[in-house]
């Protein structure tokens, strides 16, 4: 250890709020360089190398081939795929000295597709799965939680190419099982959930989530876990709309009755939906709110007016996907005035909506009359329904809301419960999105040119390391799973003479032949050595001191269970092998 680069700290860093960030800094795994940027120190790199090795073994086991592609990518590839304009400000863009546009790759669909396109010409060469473990860049607006959300990170990204959907599904399922094995082997309990494909595009998508109170993703699970989904993806099921066609159909006399009975309600200084419900002594479910968004589409910027029930929130991922927008964001107060409306009292009633995209969330169909804004300061109206301004409102009904705890499960089994999670892996079926845009074709069995189908599969390596710590720590420090610990064993010597030190070194040299072991030979107090061993989290601690030199007994302490035992030197190696095997047995079980 005298020759190793280990510098521990007793105090938490001021900007760290989660356990993994605090402990990685204190244990000397990483050191902050700047916002979202971290130096990886030798102990941390050793953990990362072990995680990468597990990933490589499982990727290779299913026939994936490892490559390494440049991080710096010509922008023309991203323009070709269409993502140059779709990806937002999180993508690092730069120019070289010749004024050429370049990208610091956040992901490598385009680059791999362009590469493989140059070699693969026939269906006989498919399927093919390629991968790399490499640095990625994303200009996070708010880097946080240490390496869990950073601007530079290591990722395993894999891509598969197929002649048909059956072949793609076979690889997708192989990858799904490989991911479960990877996360179990590194000591992580994960939940696979249905997910939104976002800017990646494609069809089926699944995220591998680690349940955690610090998770930025909200998962929705039903009671028996037969339904598991990210909240962004989860469809909302409204019990009121089940087998109730009456809510969707209006007779002409019903529409006229509503129009004739529209009444203004004086609601002074009541702007939020919650304040309005309190003022009118109504449930928020009886109120209809109007949300104004701006959407950046391929050719132009558009205002989007959305009607949604008062107890529901807009799911921007659903909105963005529906519009196929580059970006969506809430409109400004000025935008309300431009269309003849007033913030806090808005609706599509009595204003010109010709220059708006008008959308109705499914929840607007759960009542036949609503209270909503009057487009007049301090006034709302009652007996409103979208049908009185738009007879085609049914055709514009779309699910734009977040599902929430208590909603019926989309698979019909029970109700949904919320749980937080950290995403550590993500798999997609991309289809021909990239092969078509990149003009990559192969000849099929009938000598006809077709676009191969693709899959995409990512694992965040740094994030996996941090998440392991989130699941495995106590008040003393990290408790590393044996498979990814920086060292399996730390040997602490408490010696007084050179002769005693030499004896410890001889034992260390024997152990070094069979174990990944670090010898703490520093000239510091025993308490410092013990505290550092617990902070860094070595799975097994050996102590050679007074007991050994008087009774020939070596103390073994197991970090995970806090169990300690004393063994004779002649039994040491066999005992350590047994303990190591038992610690491997404690790793999460790999599902079949």
Could you report the per-residue pLDDT of 50-63, keeping only the tens digit for each?
Answer: 999 999 999 999 99
- 589: buried, middle or exposed (CB in 10 Å: 19+, 13-18, 0-12)? exposed
- Looking at the fold, whether 54 and 139 belong to one and the same domain comes out as yes
- Sequence-distant (≥ 6) Cβ neighbours of residue 577 within 8 angstroms: 514
Enclosing domain of residue 278: 239-398
Beta strands in 362-415 (DSSP E): 370-376, 379-384, 397-398
Residue 321: its pLDDT value, please?
86
pLDDT band at 197 (very low <50, low <70, confident <90, very high): low
Query: Interior CA angle at 592 toward 485 and 162, to 5°?
Result: 95
The DSSP element (H or E) to which 255 belongs, if any, is: helix 252-260
Cβ contact 23:535 at 8 Å = yes
Of 341, 363, 398, which residue sits at a domain end?
Answer: 398
The pair of structure tokens assigned to 96 is 């070289």
Residue 35 has pLDDT above 50, yes or no: yes
The proportion of the chain whose per-residue pLDDT surpasses 70, expressed as a percent, equals: 98
User: Are 173 and 60 within one domain?
Assistant: yes
Pairing relationship of beta strands 397-398 and 356-361 according to DSSP bridges: parallel
**What value does the mean pLDDT take over residues 538-542?**
98
pLDDT of residue 213: 85
In 3-state terms, what secondary structure has residue 403?
coil
Within this chain, do residues 120 and 225 fall inside the same structural domain, yes or no? yes
Which CATH number is 355's domain given?
3.90.960.10
Looking at the domain assignment, is residue 476 inside a domain?
no
Compute the distance between CA of residue 545 and CA of residue 561 in angstroms, rounded to an integer.
22
**Which strand ranges, in their side-by-side order, compose the sheet holding 397-398?**
327-330, 288-296, 301-309, 356-361, 397-398
Tens of pLDDT, residues 441-475: 999 999 999 999 999 999 999 999 999 999 999 99
Residues 185 and 320 in one domain: no
Contact, 22 vs 16, CB < 8 A? yes
The answer on 498 and 392 residing in a single domain is no
Q: What pLDDT sits at residue 22?
A: 97
Scan for tokens 């928020």, then name that residue.
284
- Distance CA(331)–CA(296), nearest Å, equals 12
Are 308 and 389 members of one domain? yes
Residue 89 reports pLDDT greater than 60: yes
For the residues of 23-85, what is the DSSP string, one character each? Answer: HHHHTTSEEEEETTEEEEPHHHHHHHHHHHHHHHHHHHHTT-EE----SEEEHHHHHHHTHHH
Do 61 and 127 sit in the same domain of this protein?
yes
Q: Is 7 inside any structural domain?
A: no
Task: Give the position of tokens 């003022």.
Answer: 279
Name, in order, each residue with C-beta under 8 angstroms of 248's C-beta and a sequence gap of 6 or more: 241, 365, 394
Running DSSP on this structure, what letter comes out for residue 287?
Answer: B
Average pLDDT rounded to a whole number, residues 7-24? 94
Q: What is the DSSP letter of 133?
A: E
| One domain for residues 35 and 48 | yes
Whether 78 maps to a domain, the answer reads yes
Q: Which residue has the higher pLDDT, 95 or 197?
A: 95
Whether residues 551 and 570 share a domain: the answer is yes
What does the pLDDT average to over 339-358? 91
pLDDT at 204 over 70: yes
For residue 126, CA distances in Å to 119, 129, 162, 171, 458 come to 11, 9, 6, 12, 21
Does 405 fall in a domain?
no
- Cβ neighbourhood burial of 257 (10 Å; 0-12, 13-18, 19+): middle
Q: With helix as H, strand as E and coil as C, how does 486-554 read?
A: CCCEEEEECCCCHHHHHHHHHHHHHHHCCCCEEEECCCCCHHHHHHHHHHHCCCEEEEECHHHHHHCEE
Let me know whether 348 and 217 are in one domain: no
How many structural domains comprise the chain? 3
* pLDDT for 94 beyond 70: yes
- Domain shared by 163 and 289, yes or no: no
Q: Is it the case that residue 271 has pLDDT exceeding 90?
A: no
Greater pLDDT, 83 or 160: 160
CB 149 within 8 A of CB 48: no
Q: Which of 343, 367, 398 is the last residue of a domain?
A: 398
In this structure, are 104 and 245 located in the same domain? no
Instruction: Read off the tokens for 273.
Output: 């939906």
pLDDT band with cut points at 50, 70 and 90 for residue 591: low
Using alpha carbons only, give the angle 82, 84, 88 rounded to the nearest 5 degrees.
120
Q: How far apart are CA 48 and CA 32, in angstroms?
A: 17
- For residue range 366-406, what is the model confidence (pLDDT) as tens digits? 999 999 999 999 999 999 999 999 888 998 899 999 999 99
Structure confidence at residue 92 (pLDDT): 95
**Average pLDDT over all residues of the chain:** 93
pLDDT greater at residue 271 or residue 135: 135
Rg for the chain, CA atoms, rounded: 30
Per-residue pLDDT tens for 508-531? 999 999 999 999 999 999 999 999
pLDDT of 200 strictly over 50: no
pLDDT at site 70: 96
Report, as an integer, the average pLDDT of 204-221. Answer: 87
């Amino acid at each position: 250890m005298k020759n190793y680069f280990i510098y521990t700290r007793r105090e938490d860093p001021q900007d760290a709020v989660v356990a993994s960030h605090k402990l990685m800094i204190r244990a000397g795994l990483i050191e902050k360089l700047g916002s979202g940027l971290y130096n990886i120190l030798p102990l941390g790199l050793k953990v990362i190398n072990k995680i990468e090795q597990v990933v490589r073994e499982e990727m290779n086991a299913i026939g994936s081939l490892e490559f390494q592609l440049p991080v710096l990518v010509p922008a023309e590839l991203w323009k070709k795929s269409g993502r140059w304009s779709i990806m937002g400000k999180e993508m690092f863009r730069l120019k070289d000295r010749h004024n050429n546009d370049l990208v610091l790759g956040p992901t490598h669909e385009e680059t791999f597709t362009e590469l493989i396109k140059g070699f693969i010409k026939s269906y006989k060469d498919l399927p093919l799965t390629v991968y790399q473990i490499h640095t990625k860049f994303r200009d996070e607006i708010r880097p946080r939680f240490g390496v869990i959300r950073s601007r530079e990170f290591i990722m395993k990204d894999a891509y598969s190419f197929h002649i048909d959907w059956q072949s793609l599904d076979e690889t997708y399922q192989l990858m799904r099982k490989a991911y479960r094995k990877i996360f179990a082997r590194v000591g992580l309990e994960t939940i696979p959930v249905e997910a939104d494909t976002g800017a990646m595009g494609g069809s089926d998508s699944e995220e591998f989530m680690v349940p955690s109170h610090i998770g930025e993703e909200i998962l929705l699970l039903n009671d028996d876990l037969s339904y598991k989904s990210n909240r962004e993806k989860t469809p909302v099921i409204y019990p009121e709309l089940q087998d109730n066609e009456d809510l969707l159909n209006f007779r002409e006399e019903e529409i006229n009755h509503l129009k004739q009975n529209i009444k203004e309600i004086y609601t002074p200084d009541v702007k939020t939906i919650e304040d309005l419900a309190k003022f009118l002594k109504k449930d928020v479910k009886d109120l209809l709110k109007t949300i104004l968004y701006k959407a950046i589409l391929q050719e132009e910027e558009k205002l989007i007016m959305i009607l949604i029930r008062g107890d529901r929130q807009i799911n921007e991922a659903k909105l963005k996907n529906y519009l196929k927008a580059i970006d969506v964001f809430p409109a400004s107060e000025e935008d309300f005035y431009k269309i003849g409306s007033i913030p806090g009292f808005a609706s599509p009633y009595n204003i010109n909506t010709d220059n708006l995209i008008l959308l109705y969330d499914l929840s607007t169909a759960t009542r036949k009359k609503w209270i909503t804004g009057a487009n007049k300061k301090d006034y709302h109206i009652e007996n409103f329904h979208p049908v009185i301004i738009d007879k085609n409102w049914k055709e514009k009904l779309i699910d734009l809301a977040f599902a929430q705890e208590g909603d019926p499960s989309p698979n019909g089994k029970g109700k949904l419960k919320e749980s937080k999670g950290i995403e550590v892996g993500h798999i997609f079926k991309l289809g021909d999105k990239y092969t078509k845009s990149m003009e990559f074709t192969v000849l099929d069995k009938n000598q006809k040119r077709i676009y191969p189908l693709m899959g995409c599969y990512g694992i965040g390596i740094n994030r996996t390391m941090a998440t392991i710590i989130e699941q495995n720590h106590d008040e003393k420090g990290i408790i590393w799973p044996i498979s990814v610990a920086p060292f399996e064993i730390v040997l602490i010597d408490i010696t007084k003479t050179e002769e005693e030190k030499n004896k410890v070194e001889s034992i260390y040299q024997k152990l070094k032949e069979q174990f990944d072991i670090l010898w703490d030979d520093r000239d510091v107090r025993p308490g410092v050595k013990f505290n550092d061993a617990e902070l860094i989290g070595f799975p097994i601690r050996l102590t050679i001191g007074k007991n050994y030199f008087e009774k020939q007994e070596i103390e073994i302490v197991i970090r995970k269970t806090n169990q300690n035992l004393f063994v004779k030197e002649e039994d040491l190696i066999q005992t350590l092998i047994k303990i190591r095997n038992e610690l491997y047995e404690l790793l999460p079980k790999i599902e079949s």
